[in-house]
Amino acid sequence: MTREETTCDVLVLGGGVAGLFILDALARAGFDPLLIEAGRLGTGQTSSSQGILHGGLKYALDGIVGRSSTSIATMPVRWASMLQGTAAPDLSDVGVHSEHCYLWRTTTLGSRLGMIAARSALKAKPRQVDPQERPEVLAACPGSVAVVDETVIDPISLLRSLADRHQSRLLAIDGPDRMTIQVDQPGQVESLQLHDDQRVLVIRPTLVVLAAGSGNQKLLQDAGCSQPAMQRRPLRMGMLRGDLPMLWGHCVDGARTRITVSSATDENGRVVWQVGGQVSEDGATMDHDRFLEHLQSEIRATIPGLDTSGIQWASYMVDRAEESTSGSKRPHQYTINHQSGNMLTCWPTKLVMAPLLADDVVELIMQRLEPGAPAGARGDTFNKWPRPNVAQPPWELQSCWTDDNSAATAR
């Protein structure tokens, strides 16, 4: 068994969108950070994300106007610069699925009111689509169809883009149990030991950033901390694949998006829809068969006339992980908790907020630590330690697909 020790100024735990943005921002600020990933990069939330760079639609529907809606409203412009490669980090190699999302409604009063709320409260106003330019898939939807400037990106290519430029700073372990945290006192991390069957790598960091999504809870426990408390908000996401048109957008109903559809192409060239929104929140309490029935009925109600013959359906469960709020409500902002000791704990709440979260983390770290000289050459164990791969999207992991209507007709 070989054993090697190294130091670093900041150690980031977790390589989803939050951890990778923080790593990149720290490196650009002159720090010498490392990142440990306990599985594949983005496992959990980022690889499941619909990739919509929200400009505040959901806050506008909720009627929330404040710091959260203001900061999210600035994000589309910032992301546009990164995606064009004119602002750091240069994300010009990230896949852009669509430059906008459609907004449409059903015949209910709530749905009409939702469209009005979106029109009046959003900073970037939705624009009505001329009837002849309406996408065919929404042809039978009642009322007007609008577009809103929400770019949709491929989250897997975002993870890859950020990871590729920092390969030498990334370390993979085969599950959280392959890491032991040594603390001097609760929240004061002295060292972390990474181990596999032949090697132990000990890292002595000055500061530690917990950015492990739902994994933060166990990391906090391991570091002897009971705070901050974390909440999980489960979703059952719907998926459709087959001969479908590409569609990105939301069917608005009152203060909610009844369905949110995003599209991609799978490894076999089939179009896949991910369906989130209220349907997936409601689906969290349903089993797979009951959910598919509900999803099919919601799709029929919100996209009348969609031909689903030959379409396959699937679902999967995923938790959104965030700092606890009263009533387990959706937080209005990303959170960074800097408890005593040398740890910061953060949750971005939304993928779109990760750049702002990273700015704030760097600012907080600058108050405690000066960027210094790099740790110098590291040894063989470090240099040969495995680097993490990027997670696959959920539709590539799902093996149980149901043919059209069989879930519904089985009942």
212 binds ligand FAD (CB under 6 A): yes
Site for ligand FAD in 226-255 (CB under 6 A): 235, 237
DSSP state letter for 176: G
Of 15 and 341, the one with the shorter C-beta distance to ligand FAD is 15
357 binds ligand FAD (CB under 6 A): no
Of 115 and 152, the one with the shorter C-beta distance to ligand FAD is 152
- For the chain, helix (H) and strand (E) counts, in that order, are 13, 19
Q: For residues 139 and 150, what is the distance between their CA atoms, to the nearest angstrom?
A: 21
Helix (H) or strand (E) holding 120: helix 109-121
Sign of CA dihedral 381, 382, 383, 385: positive
Contacts of 28 (CB under 8 A, 6+ apart): 88, 89
37 binds ligand FAD (CB under 6 A): yes
Q: For residues 15 and 53, what is the distance between their CA atoms, to the nearest angstrom?
A: 20
Instruction: Using CB under 6 A, pick the residue from 89, 213, 238, 355 that binds ligand FAD.
Output: 213
Instruction: Using CB under 6 A, pick the residue from 11, 26, 38, 122 that binds ligand FAD.
Output: 38
Residues in the chain: 411
Burial of 334 (0-12, 13-18, 19+ CB in 10 A): buried
- How many residues touch ligand FAD (CB under 6 A)? 40
242 phi/psi in degrees, rounded to 5: 140, -150
**Contact window for ligand FAD (CB under 6 A) among 43-51, 125-133, 242-250, 299-307:** 43-51
Q: For residues 365 and 228, what is the distance between their CA atoms, to the nearest angstrom?
A: 18
Site for ligand FAD in 172-191 (CB under 6 A): 176
318 binds ligand FAD (CB under 6 A): yes
76 binds ligand FAD (CB under 6 A): no
To ligand FAD, the closest distance from the beta carbon of 233 in angstroms equals 9
98 binds ligand FAD (CB under 6 A): no
275 binds ligand FAD (CB under 6 A): no
Residues that bind ligand FAD (CB under 6 A): 13-19, 36-39, 41-46, 48-52, 54, 176, 211-213, 215, 219, 235, 237, 276, 318, 320, 347-352
